[in-house]
Amino acid sequence: MDLDEHLFRRESGRMVAALTRIFGVHNLALAEDVVQDAFCRALEVWKVRGIPDNPAAWLMTTAKNRALDVIRRERTARTFAPEMGRLLETEWTLAPAVAEAFAAHTIRDEQLRIMFSCCHPRLQEDVQVALILNILCGFGANEIAGAFLAGGAAIEKRISRGKKVLAAARRLFDLSDAEFVARLSSVRRALYLLFNEGYHGASGESAVRAELCTEAMRLTALLREYPPAASPETDALASLMCLHAARLPARLDAAGDLHALLDQDRSRWDAGLVAQGLVLLESSALGHQVTAYHLEAAIAAAHAGAPSVDGTDWTLIVSLYDRLMTLAPSPVVALNRAIAVGQRDGPQRGMEELQAIGDRERLNRYPFYPAAMGELELRCGNRDAARSRFSAALALARNPTERRFLEKRVLSCTSA
């Protein structure tokens, strides 16, 4: 039997959730030790016995037994989760209490509580995202650093700072807390950033990045399973993730080469994800407000429904970007809006819009600003101007994938 390639990473988050339920969040490090013990045990036993039929259940059982050992040994010296009350004190209630913590529904709720706890207002957004990736998704500091183009030590520091805040809270976020709605909005934001990092991020490793998207979608689905969190805004977020993820197979080809939206092979878009995204977009419309997630999902849906670049409703897309600019203005949104204007009204107008971007200097290090200029110059027939724009973009490329993409664009200005 072969091993599921993400088994340990996936199960790590679920095991930590169950163990935190018993030990309390102030004993997060103890929970992580127990998980590691279970992994060591798996290595020792599986390498001689082979992989069990249900490796996930095997790991869970091992962690559960180890938790029982730890509690029996340390219950006089250590305080565990306040929520467990006196259940861990006697053998009469210990085993059932631990079994309950490892039940599927408890694990799901605990994962949610951890997600909400990670989005503590005292933590910066990048710390929140790193914590979620570490605790719930099982990524090590070095893997997170790889995805965020940061140093391992910096990420390590970010994570341990976050864990200190979690531990100081003594208990995980209570989902019935009055702050729930405010916290929910931070959770959505963190998941959005996580997805974006996977989709647009600067890291060259496409495998890692695709996993970030998958994880963001998995956690958003978890959020949608919990009725109070399954609001229209959450549906809009889930919708935009599906509609963007649908384009991933065309965005990066088998050779790992990047393809811009305008020249993607649309037959490679994932029709299942598109359909799922459209259903979600429809249910997201049931609310009273239109959020940035709604607008981004609607833009992605307009692309998903278009047979070709020319057959795209650019007027609709520009108007959606206009609304997005009033709701959540940013230089990158302005850049995408300018590209859409270029499609609707011609390249000259697109360039004017690009030049008119207010805080354009914030795009100084962003390779896709000069690249967008280059595309428009090329459409105007100004090959020389286009080449120098693409060369400028190439100088800003952040990874081999972007470099290869922009090199090709430079070359396309020379060849017929």
Partner 1 sequence: MSEFVFLFRATEAEQHEAMGTPEHAQRSLQAWLGWIRDLEAKGHLKSPGQPLALSGKVVRGKKRVVTDGPYAEAKDLVLGFIVVEARDLAQAVDISTGCPMLEGSGSVEIRPVGTLNL
Nearest to 321 by CA among 305, 338, 304: 338
Ramachandran angles phi, psi of 138, nearest 5°: 70, 20
What SS3 state is found at 286? coil
The footprint of partner 1 on this chain (CB under 8 A) covers a number of residues equal to 27
| Site residues (CB under 8 A) for partner 1, limited to 10-29 | 11-12
Nearer to partner 1, 48 or 178 (CB): 48
* β-strand partners of 252: 258
Residue type, 280: L
Give the shortest CB-412-to-partner 1 separation in angstroms.
39
Contact between residue 107 and residue 14 where contact means Cβ atoms under 8 Å apart: yes
Structure tokens at 155: 């990420």
Query: Which of the ranges 44-52, 106-114, 309-317, 369-377 carries the binding residues for partner 1, by CB under 8 A?
Result: 44-52
Interface with partner 1, residue 148, by CB under 8 A:
no
Nearer to partner 1, 146 or 232 (CB): 146
How many C-beta atoms lie closer than 10 Å to residue 50's C-beta? 9
Listed in sequence order, the residues at least 6 apart from 43 whose beta carbon sits closer than 8 Å to its beta carbon are none
Alpha-carbon dihedral sign for residues 85, 86, 88, 94: negative
Nearer to partner 1, 136 or 281 (CB): 136
Interface with partner 1, residue 180, by CB under 8 A:
no
Q: What share of the chain is helix, strand, coil (3-state, %, to 5)?
A: 75, 0, 25
In the list 42, 70, 97, 335, the residue contacting partner 1 (rule: CB under 8 A) is: 42
Nearer to partner 1, 41 or 344 (CB): 41
Nearer to partner 1, 11 or 375 (CB): 11
Query: Which of the ranges 139-147, 229-237, 276-284, 356-364 carries the binding residues for partner 1, by CB under 8 A?
Result: 139-147
Nearer to partner 1, 142 or 348 (CB): 142
Interface with partner 1, residue 138, by CB under 8 A:
yes
Give the shortest CB-318-to-partner 1 separation in angstroms.
43
Contact between residue 134 and residue 159 where contact means Cβ atoms under 8 Å apart: yes
Interface with partner 1, residue 410, by CB under 8 A:
no
In the list 139, 192, 293, 368, the residue contacting partner 1 (rule: CB under 8 A) is: 139
Give the shortest CB-36-to-partner 1 separation in angstroms.
6
Interface with partner 1, residue 45, by CB under 8 A:
yes
Interface with partner 1, residue 39, by CB under 8 A:
yes
Helix crossing, 180-200 with 232-245: angle to 10°?
10
Contact between residue 27 and residue 168 where contact means Cβ atoms under 8 Å apart: no
Give the shortest CB-225-to-partner 1 separation in angstroms.
23
Binding mask 98-137 for partner 1 (x = CB under 8 A): ----------------------------------------
Interface with partner 1, residue 40, by CB under 8 A:
yes
Nearer to partner 1, 49 or 288 (CB): 49
Radius of gyration of the chain (CA): 24
Interface with partner 1, residue 49, by CB under 8 A:
yes
Contact between residue 210 and residue 248 where contact means Cβ atoms under 8 Å apart: yes
| DSSP codes of every residue in 309-341 | STTS-HHHHHHHHHHHHHHS--HHHHHHHHHHH
Nearest to 63 by CA among 92, 25, 21: 21
In the list 68, 93, 140, 380, the residue contacting partner 1 (rule: CB under 8 A) is: 140
Instruction: Tokens 């992580």: give the residue.
Output: 32
Give the shortest CB-39-to-partner 1 separation in angstroms.
4
Interface with partner 1, residue 8, by CB under 8 A:
yes
For partner 1, the binding residues (CB under 8 A) are 3, 5-9, 11-12, 36, 39-51, 138-140, 142-143
